[in-house]
A and B are shown apart, each in its own frame.
Chain A
Amino acid sequence: MTDGISFWERMGFRRVGGVADAGWGRTFVVAAVSLIYFLPVLFIIFTAIKPQALALSVPPTLSPTSLFGLIPDQFVFTPTLENFGSVFSRIMTVGGQPESTGFDRFFFNSVVIASVSVLLALIIGTLAAYGFSRYPLKGNDTYLFIILTTRMLPAIVVVIPVILMFRAVGLSGSYLGIIMLYTAFNLAFTIWMMKSFFDELATDVEDAARIDGSSEIKVFFKICLPQVIAGLAATFVFGLILTWNEFLFALLLTGPDTRTVPVAMNQAVSSGGRGTDWTLLAAIETLFLIPVFLVTFFLQEHLLRGVTFGTVRK
């Protein structure tokens, strides 16, 4: 049923240009607060398209456009895409030729490692959560607590034994190693999240399906899973953001071939003792934001329902 729904509405924008029930006053307050939260991101994006020389200029250049003369000329800069080019290829030595920085590889690594480990955790975790929720063991809560303890210690505490173990079995620097580690770390979160979603479902519906002739497998796939799609989406996005941004383990457990963007970013801007290249950093950060932004954007409908799940009774 697409009649009456515009493209933008389908994309998640409701009533473009309207204020609906909230009224102009509240809409304005929300817009102002959102803008404040968005300012740092906006600043990063603007820095990414500034000429390198203007990065730290005084007075600061604030806008790529004068907004029809609204902003005085000294605050306006001419936008450039040069910085994005230098993310992937730039002159690394004085007087040398531009060479590849390997960032295409690092972005690929980040995408593969984050998505594979979060998906793996989602699959294993959802099955485990369903088990914990529907077929409780003796001492169910104790098991759940033990699972949670894996997230109680700060990463820095766990990192030394993990490094030693990875060295010993040769997992250091491999995709398999870091993916397994992230999967394990996401599992605790996934199990807890998904268990609460399964707990909220009316078991009557599952019983009805059993009576109607479903096997246990069908009850899970056809009845339960479709009801927790919102939960899957929310868990996926939260897990993805955590994993995508993870720095410490990536720094210590990935090799040159499997390096992820957060680690590479750190090395790109602080190497060579030339001080921080702010426009380059901003350009990497801008690119780094895009995948998570896209995923969140396309899952937002589910995400919103996922976050508010359980707050409204049936």
Chain B
Amino acid sequence: MSTIEIRKLTKRFGDFVAVRDADLSVAAGEVVCLLGPSGCGKTTTLRMIAGLERATAGDVVIAGRRMNELSPEKRDVAMVFQFYALYPALTVGQNIAMPLHYEGIGSADVAARVNKVADILHLRDVLDRLPGQVSEGEKQRVAVARAIIRDPNCFLFDEPLSRLDVELRHSMRGQIKAVLSNLSKATVIVTHDQLEALTMADRIAIMRDGLIEQVGSPHDVFAKPANVFVASFIGTPQMNLIQAQFKGYGNGKAKVAFDEQDVDLSVNPAVANLKPGRLTVGIRPRAFTVVSEDTLDTIDAVAELIEPMGAETLIHARTKTGSDIRVVVPRDKRVKTGEALHLVPDPAQTHVFGEDGKAVRA
């Protein structure tokens, strides 16, 4: 079975801990994205799975076999590198065929398989060119072709689309997803682009400072962020994270105070168990409804900057004491700079994070 499992995987470079106790399992046919900001340890994790880095502690189990001590060539994994890492002196065709040469396959068979892969990835016309003579998008497809020509235990992608322009990225995202869905292998994709992760992954593992913060389906990490970091990292525009004082709970509403406003917010009932103190309220910009002045329990702010985004309009508003609030309203809702806004958040999309940053949820 093509599966990947990492257990308590840790990597130290001197005093610096790049990856700390990472646990993750990827089932056959599943695509997991490691998502996180630069330097969070996601590439290091991937390289440990590939065998290009030795783990300081913990286990890498591929296809049911512990592979910690095995060198990359013995792990039978395929990897696509961020900068493609094509062999500069070999033609596109030879590049794609390279992994087969180590398996001792007859040349007729090699040619047939190269052609088959080249057809899937539309590389038939450039097989005789050198990597330096093909476009960026073609290089990327060559790198993918080289990975899928074999029948490896699993696939690893390191920022596969980061070097492509927006349009190519869109089409390649679809192509890679289509190719992967036909192969039913465990796949790990490293990316810092949340859109890439949300669209390509079956599950997303969000990393920060060497720790895996949350693993979940694209829907879950967006709708039920486990902590403040995940909440702020996933979703554009970023979720509003409002520091507030928790005063008590009653009738399914939490009484919170921020910016000299006392507001009763409908929140998750688990908040009832919290002691009064500081907490963070997370509300997505799209979860606000702009209401009239006489509505109770609104968050009040003044529109400062209006950014039309096409179908919607992003409003940067400021509360009395200077906190920023991002609000997204439909295009037909006209708001002028300086206008006072009265906002009511959607209870289903209002998240409460305790003092430790973790989500309070039943």
Contact = CB atoms under 8 A, between A and B. Distances in A.
Q: Is B one of A's binding partners? A: yes
Interface of A: 202, 204-205, 207-215, 223, 226-227
Given A202-B83, A208-B81, 14 more contacts: A202-B85, A204-B82, A207-B47, A207-B52, A208-B85, A208-B86, A208-B87, A209-B87, A210-B73, A213-B99, A213-B102, A213-B103, A214-B73, A226-B89
Contacts of B86: 205, 208
Contacts of A212: 73, 98-99, 102, 146
18 contacts: A204-B82, A204-B85, A205-B85, A205-B86, A205-B87, A207-B50, A208-B87, A208-B146, A210-B71, A211-B73, A211-B77, A212-B99, A213-B73, A214-B73, A214-B102, A215-B73, A226-B89, A227-B88
A208 B73 contact: no
Interface in B43-81: 47, 50-52, 71-73, 77-79, 81
A218 to B, nearest CB: 8
Q: Which of A210, A223, A227 has the most CB of B within 10 A?
A: A210
Given A204-B85, A205-B85, A223-B87, A211 B102 contact: no
Given A212-B146, A213-B102, A207 B72 contact: yes
Q: Interface of chain A, helix or strand or loop or mixed?
A: helix
Contacts of A205: 85-88
B156 to A, nearest CB: 8
Contacts of A227: 88-89
Contacts of A207: 47, 50, 52, 72, 79, 81, 85
Nearest to A226: B89
Given A223-B87, A226-B89, A210 B72 contact: yes
Interface of B: 47, 50-52, 71-73, 77-79, 81-89, 98-99, 102-103, 146
A225 to B, nearest CB: 10
A219 to B, nearest CB: 9
A210 B99 contact: no
A210 B77 CA distance: 10
A3 to B, nearest CB: 15
A210 B72 CA distance: 6
A252 B317 CA distance: 87
Contact of A211 (B79, B83, B103): B79
B50 A211 contact: yes
Contacts of A204: 81-85
B147 to A, nearest CB: 9
B323 to A, nearest CB: 44
B79 A208 contact: yes
A208 B51 CA distance: 11
Contacts of B146: 208, 212
A209 B94 CA distance: 13
Nearest to A219: B73
A283 to B, nearest CB: 44
Nearest to B131: A205
Q: Which of A208, A214, A223, A226 has the most CB of B within 10 A?
A: A208
A121 B84 CA distance: 34
A152 B89 CA distance: 37
B162 to A, nearest CB: 13
Nearest to A223: B87
9 tightest A-B CB contacts, nearest first: A213-B102, A204-B85, A208-B85, A212-B99, A210-B72, A213-B73, A205-B85, A211-B79, A204-B81
B72 A211 contact: yes
Contacts of B81: 204, 207-208
